[in-house]
Amino acid sequence: MPRHGILIIDMLNDFAHPDGVLYCPTNRTIIPTLQKLMNWVRERNAQGKDDIQLIHIQEAHRENDADFKVRPVHAVKGTWGSEFIDELKPEKGEYIVQKRRHSAFAHTDLDLYLREEKIDTVVVTGTWTNVCVRSSASDALYYAYKVITLSDACASKTEEMHQAGLKDLSIFSKVMTVDEYIDAWEKGLDPWEGGGDPENKVE
């Protein structure tokens, strides 16, 4: 049976709170969908099913980080902006990965954690679809994981950016909605089946 790790990427105050430095209003629209997904996983875990793990990705820059040469100062470690929004806070036992680059794999222990947990499929959600979500998904493939993108649990600054990110992600991941993902699991199917673009059809 597959084992999945669901990455909740950068749903932090600086991105998803109206007072955040890089606030994107569209991030607010995916909160209920993410809550539904997270509650479903937590209910499974409470029943003793550990084949899906929630992994919270937290951008936590150092002061004067190189990232700030190209972007506004944001999500500095230890500040309010780097904290998870109240609606999507991790619960005890859920793993947190802090990162300083777009990808959740870049110079973090995420790959080590996934291998320790024998997870073979990485599921990406969060913000921004075309930046941190896409970068994390691309690196997941680099590390030979199967990749799923939950389209209605991701957001970007604009709908155009979001759709462009999804198109790129569809080349190498399985793009599906949260309801489709949950339904596949409930039916005993591997949600990743049919992922990617092996026939080079994406235009």
Q: What is the CATH number of the domain that holds 158?
A: 3.40.50.850
Place of tokens 């990406």: 124
Q: Is residue 67 part of a domain?
A: yes
Q: Is residue 39 part of a domain?
A: yes
For residue 175, give the H/E element and its range: strand 174-176
Q: Is residue 146 part of a domain?
A: yes
Q: Structure tokens of 100? A: 């300083």
Q: How many residues does the chain have?
A: 203
In this predicted model, what pLDDT tens digit does every residue of 172-191 receive, in sequence order?
Answer: 999 999 999 999 999 999 99
Beta strands in 10-120, from DSSP E residues, in sequence order: 52-59, 95-99
Q: Structure tokens of 2? A: 């597959």
Max alpha carbon distance in the chain (Å)? 49
Q: Is residue 79 part of a domain?
A: yes
Tell if the pTM clears 0.85, that is, is over it. yes
Report angle CA 130, 133, 139 to the nearest 5 degrees: 110
pLDDT band at 166 (very low <50, low <70, confident <90, very high): very high
In this predicted model, what pLDDT tens digit does every residue of 74-105 receive, in sequence order?
Answer: 999 999 999 999 999 999 999 999 999 999 99
Q: Structure tokens of 45? A: 């875990």
Q: Is residue 145 part of a domain?
A: yes
Q: Is residue 195 part of a domain?
A: no
Q: How many domains are contained in the chain?
A: 1
Distance linking the first and last C-alpha atoms of the chain? 33
Q: Is residue 89 part of a domain?
A: yes
- Can you give the residue range of the structural domain that contains 38? 4-187
Q: Is residue 203 part of a domain?
A: no
Pick from 180, 123, 134, 136: nearest CA to 156: 134
